[in-house]
Each structure stands twice: as structure tokens, then as C-alpha cells.
Chains A and B, each alone.
Chain A
Amino acid sequence: MAQGEADTPGAGTAGRTVKLKDLVPAATNTVNTTFIVLDKAAPAARPPHPHAHAQAQARGVEEVTCLALVADDTAAAHFLLWGGECGAFEPGDIVRLTDGIFSYHRGNALVLRAGRRGRAEKVGEFTMLFVETPNMSEIQWGRDPGDPRRMVQEAVVSPYSQFFKPPPR
């Protein structure tokens, strides 16, 4: 099994649906949520990461990823599309994520993604309201002094996404 991602087996069975504003970075595949894709960056191909999917690593193929801005009616976040997901979702698509993970990717970027155990499905289009601030990926988190297993918000790095420009007015 690949290392590095703390995909806790069976952790996704909780089945509770959360809003994006309730996301807290954690190394567990427990995020069930629905959001709308606002914007999508160009796909980026990178050489396999040492911690990448074991199969991809074995084949030596590049992993294609693509960062997307997603939101619901409470908050926005960055969502990392992976492989086939990059072509499957377009801005305006409503996506349901089951057993996803909200954690630091490659050490620094805080992103939501399906991960190996999660699944992202297009369930609709267009008809969903959203807000673009706060952006949960633009928040600095720290350990809860009272409970070091928990993360708490320390500061807002930026109210809006710094990566995606707002649409022209």
C-alpha cells in the first residue's frame, strides 16, 4: 500500500453530509459533501510522486491533476481533480463527493479531493447557489492546544481564492 496518505480503512462509513464551511483538515477519508464547480485550471502532468498511486508508480506514468474551485452555499474550497476526473467535470457541474479527504497535498496545498477511497460523481448542473468566501483552502490551521488531534482555524490567509481570479464583472 502506498504510504503518506493516511487513508483510514473503513473511515468513510460514517455517511454524514457536511457543508464546506465545516471542513477541517484531517487525514481521514470521511468527507461527504455536495458542491458546484466554479472554475477549473489547466491540467498539470507531473512525474509520479513517491507517494502516488502504486499502480501509476509501477507503470511510471505521469499523474495528471487539475485544480478546481468549488463551492456550496456556505463556503468555497480548492478541489484537486485526479486522472480521469480532470475531463469528467466542468465548471457549472454539481458534484457529490463521498468518502473524500480534506488535507495538505504535497506538504503545503490544502485541498479537498476524492483520494483513493473516495468518489466524485456528477449529480447535476447549474442549479445550486454558492458563495466564494470564505475559502477553506485559504485558511491557516493549527493544532488545537486542548486536543492535539484536532485542527482549529488560526488565521484567514485570504478571504477569496488566491489561485483563481474572480469572474470579470
Chain B
Amino acid sequence: MPPPSPPSPPPRLLAGGDHLPAPTSATSPEHPFLSAHLLLPSPSPSPADLSSPHLPHALAFAFLTQPSPLPRHLLVALHAAGARFPAFYQAFASALLSLPFPLLLPHPRARLLLAASELARAAAPGFGALLASLLRRVPFPGDARLLDLFAEHASSLADEEPQLLASAVLAFLRLLARNRLAPAPSSAECKGCEECKGAKSLEECRGKLVSFCVAMLRDHFQVCALIGRDLVRSLHELALVPEFQPLWRDLMPDRVGDVCRMSTPGWCTALAITGEMETQLLFMMNNVKWGDQKRYQLWFERKHLMVPGGVEMIPDIVRFICCGYHPTNEIMHSGVIARWAVIGWLLTLCGKGYVLANAKLALFYDWLFFEEGSGNVMNIEPAILLMLNSVSEYTEITNMLLEFLFLLIDNYDVRRKDAIACCVRSAFGVLVKKRVILSLEPLTCCEKISPLLRQKLVAFLSSSNPGAAEDSFGKPTAVVSKETELKKSVCSS
């Protein structure tokens, strides 16, 4: 008689390897799932299983790993537990959120989407956070299900979760604007599984994606407008896409002004970048001291920018830095690398002309609609500091940015040219008034800067509102800081 074959090891959730912690190790993100699975291998809707503290992780493990088709008892158990214990859905969703998405194997990834749509169908607590986190991951294999899900529940989401629906619109518009719908090729595939084989990617349904965005803008414009001015920025990038042109003809013209007046709300500043990018950028800007940043920059470039579609992310990264992260004074004076320096580095990596133009637009976007009183000075701070701090050593950056700013004032929205000029003037004024910079002299007087641009700036600042312009110059009186002295000596050298 042949010896009994050893029991097969439990299935994996994450891509493994000899040099990653094994699922049995307490440091593995899989560990809580595996331990729960060993205690509760096949959760059923029995009262004993439903009241088990291991149910959220055990059920998540079974849901994500059971071969196709998904056993019905798992769905029954999910909703039975959700109906019986108010906190269950939330615990289940949190368990799913704790898994590092980039490491998920194809089958568990497809099932994660299925779980998300089950939770959305039941409008279960916790589904919003799960869907928002998935939106940050597009494009990924099988992501068309995410579109289906939002399309299916659009009307109810518009009423009950408008922010979530607006997030989906923004995530999809950014994806279309970056024009790279193909997911990164993955080495692993789920062999012989019909469920995974049938999973479509957004790349295959571009038309459906465009239709969804257009329909949301037409049917739920008030919801989409929650995004604020980044909605207009995204639609501008798509203005040449035929399906969006009718919107620009009949829907947008009357609404652009109002939407642009709304600055980007906090909940969508990080939506267009992945969680890893956010973590790493924040680490750089909170912990890495000046002079030590080079290796971190190289790693960030290699991991996020030197990949297909990587540089196209730069405008969204710039938006995140300007609007999504406002350091405290304590951090700003702790010697860590400043936001403007991170942006300056990113601008050097854009490569393609249109990416650089979009990145500069992202940097100045809040200038174009800046209103004293309601505008946040921290959104416009990186651009001025980048211009000022580049004067002595990287004058070409100052020149490039100033030139671009004037281009924007004249051309970004010709019909609102005067309003935009007024906002930019007010931005300069507030930066001096709030003492973000001591004066604009380094820009108006430094001979290293192109004379044409300097003249243009002086004329611009003094036109129409001479009083404000004088303020903006911040004529140094008795108190002249050392910094200004230094700038002068740099400029006159």
C-alpha cells in the first residue's frame, strides 16, 4: 500500500520567496490569516463559527483562497455574521485592508475585488475604505470589476457615499489622463481558474471607462464637483479626447469658475498616488535630513518612476506634495528635506515635455485660483520657495518656472485671464505678507534672472493694484534679514 500522501500546505495569499517572512512567522502580514485559518478552517454559518473571534480573518482567508467557484456557505457566513454582529463587516474589511496589495497573488486579488463588491452590495460598514484603497491601485490586473461595481451602484453611492463616488471619478479621470491603462505585467498567474481567466482589466474596456466618467459628470455633477479644482485640471488634460469634448462645449463653461474656486479637499489629495508612494514621500519629508536624500531619491526613482507609466505619475505626486502634506513648523525647522526641494528633484525627471508641463501646472495650480482669506498659503509655498532657492545655483529652474507662470496667466483660461492674473498677484502678496518669503526682491532684482522676465514680473506686480504691488515688493526697511543680504550678495556676484 502506498504511504499516505502528506497533507498539502495551506494555500498562500501573498507572493512568497525564500527571503520573505514565511506565513507562519509572526512578522508576516499573512500570519493572522493563517493562524485563524488553522483554528477555523472552513467557516460555516453555524452559531459556534459565527461567534468565533477568529471569524473575520478565517473567513477572509477562505474567501480569498478557496478555489473557484466560491463556496456558497462562505457568502452565507459573511452576511449572517454581518447581520448578527454590527462590528463584523468592519473587522472583515479591515482584515482585507491589512494585506499588502502589491504582493497579493492573482487569485486572492481577484477574490478581494469580489469581497469588496459583496460588501458594497450590502452597503456594509467599512466597504468605502476598502474601495478607496483599491482605487489608488489602478491599473492592476482584473481592475475592470472595480468599474463595474461603481457603475452598478452609482445612483445609491451618489446619495449615500458621494465622496466615494467622486473619488472613483477622480481616480478614473487621472488614469485616463495618464493614458496608461495597462497593468504592470505580473509573473504569477492563476492557472486553470476560469474565474481569474475571465477577469477583465480596464485596458480592455477603455470605452466603458470613458462612458462611466462622462455619465457621472452629466448625471451627478454636484457629486463630481466635490473634488474641487483638480476635477477641472483632469478634464483639461482630457479636452482632446472626443468623448469629453461635448462636456467642454455645453456642461463645463458655466461651471469651471465655481469648481476652480474650491481647493482640493483633504480626502482626495493622495487618491492619485499609491500608498507606497505616499509612505515613502512622507518619510523623506519628515525624516530624511538635507544632504542624505540622494539614495532615497534613487530608490524612489527606480521603484516608482523608472517603470512603464512612472513619469506620468509626477504631476499627481506634485499635487500630493502641494496640497496633501503641510508640515508643521517644527518639522520645517528640523533640517529635513523641504517640499520645494522634492518637487525640484521631480521636475528634473519628467523627461517628456507634456509631463513636465503638467507637473509645472500641478505646482502652480492653486496660484491660478488663489483667494486671500480662503486660499491656503501652504499650497502655494513650494512654488515660490523653489523659484527663490534656485536663483543662485539653478537659475534656469527659476527662469523656467517664472516663464511658465506668465504663460499660464495669459493662456490657461483666456476668458478668465484677468481673474487669474488677480489671483496670482494676490498669491505673491500673501506669500510676502505671511512672511513665507521676506520680499520678492530676489526675483525682481537678481541679474541672473532673464531681464525680460524680471521686467514682466515688475510690471505684473505693479499693474492694476499698485498698493498691493508695493506690499509684495516688501521694501526692506530697517530690518533686513541675513537671508536677504545673502541673496543680494549671491545675485550681485
Q: A91-B299, A92-B303, A127-B280 are in contact. Are A122 and B287 (CB under 8 A)?
A: no
A85 to B17, CA, bound (A): 10
Contact B19 A121 (CB under 8 A): yes
Partner of B279, one of A88, A122, A127: A127
Q: Does A148 contact B (CB under 8 A)?
A: no
Interface size class of A (residues with CB under 8 A): 20 to 34
- A-B contact list, 28 entries, CB within 8 Å: A38-B295, A84-B18, A88-B18, A88-B19, A89-B19, A90-B302, A91-B298, A91-B299, A92-B299, A92-B302, A92-B303, A121-B19, A121-B21, A121-B27, A122-B20, A125-B276, A125-B280, A125-B299, A125-B303, A126-B296, A126-B299, A126-B303, A127-B279, A127-B280, A127-B283, A167-B294, A167-B295, A169-B294
B200 CB to nearest A CB, Å: 30
Q: Is the C-beta of A31 less than 8 angstroms from some C-beta in chain B?
A: no
Most buried by B among A88, A121, A125: A121
Measured CA separation A122–B21 after assembly (Å): 7
0/1 per residue, B14-41, Cβ < 8 Å to A?
0001111100010100000000000000
Does residue B99 face the partner (Cβ distance < 8 Å to A)? Answer: no
Residues of B with Cβ closer than 8 Å to A?
Answer: 17-21, 25, 27, 276, 279-280, 283, 287-288, 292, 294-296, 298-300, 302-303
Contact A91 B295, beta carbon cutoff 8 Å: yes
Selected from A38, A39, A120, A126, the residue in CB contact (under 8 A) with B283 is: A126
Q: Which among B17, B276, B294, B299 is the interface contact of A88 at CB below 8 angstroms? A: B17
Q: A125-B303, A129-B287 are in contact. List 20 more A-B contacts (CB 8 A).
A: A38-B295, A39-B295, A84-B19, A90-B302, A91-B295, A91-B298, A91-B299, A92-B302, A121-B19, A121-B21, A121-B27, A123-B21, A123-B27, A126-B279, A126-B296, A127-B287, A129-B288, A129-B292, A167-B295, A168-B294
Number of A-B contacts (CB under 8 A): 53
A125 CA / B102 CA spacing, docked (Å) = 13
When A and B form their complex, which 6 residue pairs have the shortest distance between CB atoms, in order from nearest? Answer: A92-B299, A88-B19, A167-B294, A127-B283, A126-B280, A121-B21
B19 touching A85, Cβ below 8 Å: yes
Closest to A120 in B: B19
Expressed in whole angstroms, the Cα–Cα distance for A8 and B303 within the complex equals 39
Chain B residues contacting A122 (CB-CB under 8 Å) are 19-20
Alpha-carbon distance between A167 and B291 when the two chains are bound, in angstroms: 11
Q: Which residues of B contact A38 (CB under 8 A)?
A: 295
Cα–Cα distance between A122 and B392 once the two chains are bound (Å): 42
**Chain A residues, CB < 8 A from B25:** 121
In the bound assembly, the distance between CA atoms of A92 and B302 in angstroms comes to 10
A131 (CB) vs chain B CBs: closest residue:
B292
Give the distance in Å from the alpha carbon of A122 to the alpha carbon of B288 in the complex. Answer: 21
Please report the C-alpha to C-alpha distance between residue A127 and residue B296 in the assembled complex, in whole angstroms. 9
Chain A residues whose C-beta falls within 8 Å of the C-beta of B288 in the assembled complex = 129
Q: Hey, which chain B residues are within 8 Å of A96, CB to CB?
A: 27
- Residues in chain B near residue A127, CB distance under 8 A: 279-280, 283, 287
Specify the chain A residue showing the minimal Cβ separation from B283: A127
Measured CB to CB, the closest approach of chain B to A14, in angstroms, equals: 19
Residue of chain A at shortest CB distance from B282: A127
Interface residues of A in 68-90 (CB under 8 A from B): 84-85, 88-90
For B294, the chain A residues whose CB sits under 8 A away are: 167-169
A167 and B298 contacting across the interface, CB-CB below 8 Å:
yes
Residue of A89, A91, A120, A126 ringed by the most chain B CB atoms within 10 A: A126
Residue of B19, B292, B296, B299 ringed by the most chain A CB atoms within 10 A: B19
Chain A residue numbers with a CB within 8 Å of B276 are 125
Chain B residue, CB-CB nearest to A39: B295
CA distance A64 to B279 in the complex (A): 34
Considering the complex, give the chain A residue whose CB is closest to the CB of B18: A84
A169 to B283, CA, bound (A): 20
Chain B residue numbers with a CB within 8 Å of A129 are 287-288, 292
- Residues A121 and B20 in contact in the complex (CB < 8 Å), given A126-B280, A126-B283, A129-B288: yes
**Which A residues lie within 8 Å of B280 (CB)?**
125-127
B280, B283, B287, B296 — most chain A CB neighbours (10 Å): B296
Bound Cα distance A127, B18 (Å)? 22
Please, how many angstroms separate the alpha-carbon atoms of A167 and B292 in the complex? 10
Docked CA distance A115–B359 (Å): 48
Q: B291's closest neighbor in chain A, by CB? A: A169
**Residue in chain A with minimal CB distance to B303:** A92
Residue in B closest to A119 when the chains form the complex, CB atoms: B19
Find chain A residues with CB under 8 A from B296 CB. Answer: 92, 126
Which residues in B have their C-beta under 8 angstroms from that of A169? 294
Contact with B along A9-45 (1 / 0, CB 8 A): 0000000000000000000000000000011000000
Provide the bound-state CA to CA distance between A169 and B294, in Å. Answer: 7
Residues of B within 8 A of A123 (CB): 21, 27
For the complex, give the distance between the alpha carbons of A129 and B296 in Å: 10
What is the distance, in angstroms, from B155's C-beta to the closest C-beta of chain A? Answer: 41
B contact residues around A85 at 8 Å (CB): 19
A89 contacts across to B, CB distance below 8 A: 19
CA separation between A121 and B17, bound complex, in Å? 9
Q: How far is the CA of A167 from the CA of B345 in the complex (A)?
A: 15
The residue on B at minimum CB distance from A127 is B283
Q: In the complex, A168→B17 CA distance in Å?
A: 33
On chain A, the residues within 8 Å of B279 by CB distance are: 126-127
